[in-house]
Amino acid sequence: MKNTVLVMGVTGQLGKLVAASLQQYSSVKIRVTSRRKNELEQLQKEYGESVFLDLDDPRTFSQALKDVDSIFFLTGYTVDMLVQSKAIVDAAKREGVKHLVHLGVFSPDPDCYDAHFAWHQMIEAYVKVSGINYTNLHPNCFLQNFTGFYQMIKDGKARFYAGGKPAGWIALEDVGEAAAKILAEGDKHYGKDYWFSTEVATLAELVNAFNEVTGKSLIADDRAPGQFLKDIAPDGNNIDPYFRGVADSFEQIYDGRMAYIGTVRDDVPVLLGRPGMSIRQWATLHKDELIALSS
């Protein structure tokens, strides 16, 4: 009998890569979730099963979780992640889910008080006491931040807010493939934490690699941490507390409290038997997008 794996976030950056990678495992029945009712039919055609699930409405959980064995457990960029995560863990326990694969952040130091990192750590602690088998994924900065919703490339400039300090980078393709393997293989990954930080680079080094691949002349615009919130919300309004956490992490990378963000720690070889994708390899894969954004 096939294992039913519920994949959250399939309309977003990582969930879609997880679901796509899971399709190679014949032992798995994929069920994807979305709040977008008008996309459910198409998602069903693509992945097999699709269900409506709104993390802000626990009344939608029972039906979505019926007969589910494992969950790829992802929340979005909002402080609501806290209550959303508690609610889904409670429901998973009630419905007899066997394995939660949680997407967290690169948090090797438990003594951490940047808000969004601390929230992920508290969610992981809640999962642990729930008694459900778990695996925690800890990716460092997504390379997709440059091509995806964060829009870190604008007007021919790539922006980062660590004031020139280095960070660790990861290709989401690797996290997606690794997460799918963990979900498909199940019990050998119970209770484990996996780290995804393949290559360390400053913004200037990243942009050099992008330009070598694209032949364009993107400029590295290293900004001070304090500029981040001003750039994403110039009027200072409607800033989700999650992004105040992101601003805080830039501050702490800059002053050294979170210097570990600039370290390599890579379980891609452990999980997939090959090296993680380098920045240059990732840029080659995303060359067309980078050219369009650099122009």
Ligand X SMILES: NC(=O)c1ccc[n+]([C@@H]2O[C@H](COP(=O)([O-])OP(=O)(O)OC[C@H]3O[C@@H](n4cnc5c(N)ncnc54)[C@H](OP(=O)(O)O)[C@@H]3O)[C@@H](O)[C@H]2O)c1
Distance between CA 137 and CA 196 in Å, rounded? 8
CB of 105 to ligand X, least distance (A): 4
In terms of CB distance, is 163 or 196 closer to ligand X? 196
In terms of CB distance, is 115 or 218 closer to ligand X? 115
CB of 74 to ligand X, least distance (A): 6
Helix/strand/coil for 242: helix
Stretch that binds ligand X, among 7-15, 90-98, 209-217, 261-269 (CB under 6 A): 7-15
Distance between CA 30 and CA 11 in Å, rounded? 14
Distance between CA 30 and CA 261 in Å, rounded? 33
Q: Would the CA dihedral through 119, 104, 45, 51 be positive or negative?
A: negative
Site size for ligand X (CB under 6 A): 26
Q: For residue 161, what are the CA distances in angstroms to 86, 112, 117?
A: 31, 19, 17
**DSSP classification of residue 37:** G
Of 4, 6, 7, 13, the residue at the interface with ligand X (CB under 6 A) is 13
Task: Please list the alpha-helical segments (H only) found in the chain.
Answer: 13-22, 40-47, 61-65, 81-95, 115-130, 172-185, 203-214, 227-232, 241-255, 268-272, 279-285, 287-294
CB of 39 to ligand X, least distance (A): 7
Nearest to 103 by CA among 16, 8, 3: 8
12 is a site residue for ligand X (CB under 6 A): yes
36 is a site residue for ligand X (CB under 6 A): yes
The first and second tokens of residue 72, run together, are 């790829």
108 is a site residue for ligand X (CB under 6 A): no
Stretch that binds ligand X, among 29-37, 62-70, 199-207, 257-265 (CB under 6 A): 29-37
Near ligand X in 48-107, by CB under 6 A:
53-56, 74-77, 103, 105
In terms of CB distance, is 70 or 75 closer to ligand X? 75
CB of 215 to ligand X, least distance (A): 26
Near ligand X in 227-286, by CB under 6 A:
none
The site map against ligand X for 119-158 (x = CB under 6 A) is: --------------------x-xx--x---x---------
**Footprint of ligand X on this chain (CB under 6 A)?**
8-15, 34-36, 53-56, 74-77, 103, 105, 139, 141-142, 145, 149
